[in-house]
Structure 1
Amino acid sequence: MTRFRIKADTNCHVVTMHMMNNSATHYGYVARALHWSTALLFLLAYAAVYYRQWFTEEKTDLNWTALQLHLSFGMTIGVLVLLRVYWRLTTTQPAPEPASALMHKAAHYGHLALYAVLIIMPLTGYLGTGVATEFFFWFDIPKFADTWLFQSVIQHGLGLSFEQFEAPIDFIHKQGGAYLVWLLILGHAAAALYHHIHLKDRTLLKMLPPG
């Protein structure tokens, strides 16, 4: 009886690990959860900031709440993307679908650019924000200007005020980066649909639950 229970527990553990990890044909639960959570939080972050810009007045509670939600979503995205990078580097990746060398190279560099932007956007969002983040109203994260790193390296080391430091950071986050990230994400989604509808391969299905 004990031997049977140990064997059952072992089989259950193997099945669980198989579901969590990637395989040669499918992304596992962890990769899928990180992927779709990042996508959802990205949409929520932009919904919060556009709602703030279009439907609220400055210096109102609603305006402040929308800003804090945007900051909280952004910081969460930053953490999830770092976890995604770590998971991608330390686990097996599904084999690519048959395609030309040019398409494989485009997909590779497209993914690299998307990862880079999804790291740069939360980072510049935090560095260039002039207020503390009330992380989902649970606890406060100090603004970068109040940290030892800013005061010792940027202010005293480089001799820059926060306003001088913020200007290029803000430009990256609110101007160039804001449009580039949309372009990359729309291109990523369009490529997945192209593979699914036109090429009829398993590129999109790999990131969906089995079955």
Structure 2
Amino acid sequence: MPTGVHLHDPRRQLFDAAERLLLRDGPIALTSRAVTDEAGCAKGVLHRHFVDFDAFLADLVLDSAARLEEQATALRESAGTGTVAGNLTAALTALFGPVPVAIIPLITFRDELRKRLRQTTPGGGVAILGHVTTAISAYLADERDLGRIASDADLESVTLSLVGGGHLLSADRAPGPPSEAAVNRLVTTALAGALPRA
């Protein structure tokens, strides 16, 4: 694309291109040239908007984490409605969608990216997993306050079981994402000792 062609939202176009590359080819495929080629723009466009490629990747991760915040808000707003297991099943499926799951190995793969994320955000070195953990923990605390989780439940252990198990279920998406039944089985098992006793 000639450099004189106006891009309506170059940052978004570059992020979308990077996400497509991540989903199709994995983190090893992400280079500045690959991203700009995928976005259909000149390489200089990326460097006009970001200090360097690691700064671009850090903003890509933070953009994805910001979108997780919307899902975290929806999860917290579901407290007291439906069932705890049903709410968590839906949340884990959404929070561990294809893009967040693809970004996790990118963070693991690039030391400089983790370093930049730590400088930007407390706990940023595990950005996506940290956001999911915070969302699940806050929701469980809300449900405990409403009496739908036992007052003596070990919320930290339940949260870690849900986040770790949800990530493992979603990490290898071949031939596709985990079934709702598989996620629900994980949630039901993790909650077994945390629900109020009759």
The TM-score bracket by the shorter chain reads 0.3 to 0.5
TM-score, scaled relative to structure 1: 0.35
TM-score when normalising by structure 2 = 0.36
